[in-house]
Amino acid sequence: MEQALMTLSQYHGAPAVTILLSTHRTHPDNKQDPINLKKLVAEAETRLYDTFDKREVWPVLDKIKAAELDINHDYNLDSLTIFANHDSVQVVKLPVPATDRVVISDRFEVRPLLKALQQQEHYYILTIARQKIRLLEAYNDTLVREIHNDDFPFSNEYYTKDPMKLQQDAIVDDLLKEYFNVADKQFKKYYHENPLPVVLLGDTKSIAYYQEQMDIKNIVMATAAGSYDDTSSHEILKVTFPLVQQHMADKQTAALSAIGEAQSRQRLLVDLGDIYRAAEAGAADTLYLEKTYFHNGTIEDGTITESDQPGAEDVSLNIIDSVLQKGGKVVFMDENTLNTYQGIALVTRFS
């Protein structure tokens, strides 16, 4: 998803079409998803023909309609996004909610991807034990699913019954690490389909060994010691959700601390025009904005003018694109956390 974000954020050229659809994970609710998507595709078609020459519209529409037919709605997440231009189309299913809408501009609406990458309330749980490993998916304190198939629960077949070998810690540890290594490769399939942060539960030694074997680093947001081989999902979530809440609170606190420190060092910009010019100049280190932040307007000669006219674009997209393209970071904050700064603030690389 990170690569898709970078590629899409770097594209400039009209028409760039973004279709955002709120979707459903389960039957029968997901039966309405293709119907709602068809309405959005029809809206995109009308707006494209109203704005562009037919020869510019046809290649884009052909790609959108082909992608629409290929989507399997039995495996939807919380939202679905179609990105299309003359040359390509990309469909991304996301674990974050979205409002149904069509965005036609000279750049793609990449915020859903950014929010999905930073989504912490939606997460995996791996219970690490020497006999079996369980994989669960949760949202806040609610179980989305526990995987029950040929992959998980993953039983340990990497052991020895040889009494001599059992007395040799190095052999036992190597077998345990091999077991964790194979289990992690099983888990990676799920992570690549839907990249979410991970909570690890198990005894301290097993958790440490499992983390050593993980191919994808820096995705574990919390761990907890204990035995969860046969613990109910309800009891597991009573353990994990407070950990997730604390992790999210810590990230918000760290972000506000970074903003305050930047302000004391005169490296903080809060005026939207100043933020835009700094981003364009490559001076942006980290852009912080609330998840619900929008600012409709126009940009001309480096000046942002607010506008409530139909078709006015959200100028924060331009800022986000510039920050990402020039190596900066974008961090979404909870609603009302940046009230002091009117919802957006930029830490610069230098004062």
Residues 176-224 have pLDDT tens digits of 889 999 999 999 999 988 888 999 999 999 999 999 999 998 999 999 9
pLDDT, average across residues 242-250 = 91
Name which of 129, 174, 177, 181 is nearest 155 in CA terms: 129
Structure tokens at 275: 């933020």
Biggest CA-to-CA distance, the chain: 80
pLDDT confidence band for 6 (50 / 70 / 90)? low
Kindly list the strands in the beta sheet with 296-300, ordered across the sheet, starting from the edge strand earlier in the chain.
303-306, 296-300, 313-314
Half-sphere exposure of 142 (CA within 13 A, CB side): 4
Residue 216 is predicted with a pLDDT of 93
Residue with the bigger pLDDT between 324 and 19: it is 19
Name which of 249, 252, 225, 251 is nearest 239 in CA terms: 225
Residue 254 is predicted with a pLDDT of 95
Average pLDDT of the chain to the nearest whole number: 89
Look at the block and give the residue holding tokens 């302000």. Answer: 263
CA 304 to mean position of chain CA atoms: 29
Report whether pLDDT(20) > 60: yes
Query: How far is residue 171's CA from residue 214's CA, in Å, rounded to a whole number?
Result: 20
Structure tokens at 186: 């099983």
